[in-house]
Amino acid sequence: WPAEESFWAFGIDAARAVALGRRYGQNALVWWEPGATPALWWL
C-alpha cells in the first residue's frame, strides 16, 4: 500500500500516541519503551 508520512514523538504516553495516530489518519504506530521490544500497534 502507499507509504504514509510519519514522525517520532518523544515523551508521550501510549494513550496520547494512539490519539495522535488516529487524528492524523495513521494505520498503525510503533510503540517502544526503554528496555522493551518495539511493538507494532494497528489502529
Judged on CB neighbours under 10 Å (0-12, 13-18, 19+), 24 is exposed
Q: What pLDDT does residue 15 have?
A: 97
Q: What pLDDT does residue 7 have?
A: 79
Q: What pLDDT does residue 23 have?
A: 94
Q: What is the pLDDT of residues 1-43, one digit of tens each?
A: 788 777 788 899 999 999 999 998 889 999 999 999 999 999 9
Q: What angle do CA 36, 13, 1 make, to 5 degrees?
A: 75
Cell numbers linked to 15: 494513550
Q: Are 32 and 9 a contacting pair, CB within 8 Å?
A: no
State the DSSP code for 6.
-
> Which pTM was predicted?
0.77
Structural domain count, the chain = 1
Where in the sequence is the domain holding 6, given as residue range(s)? 1-43
Q: Which residues make beta-bridge pairs with 41? A: 29
Q: What pLDDT does residue 1 have?
A: 76
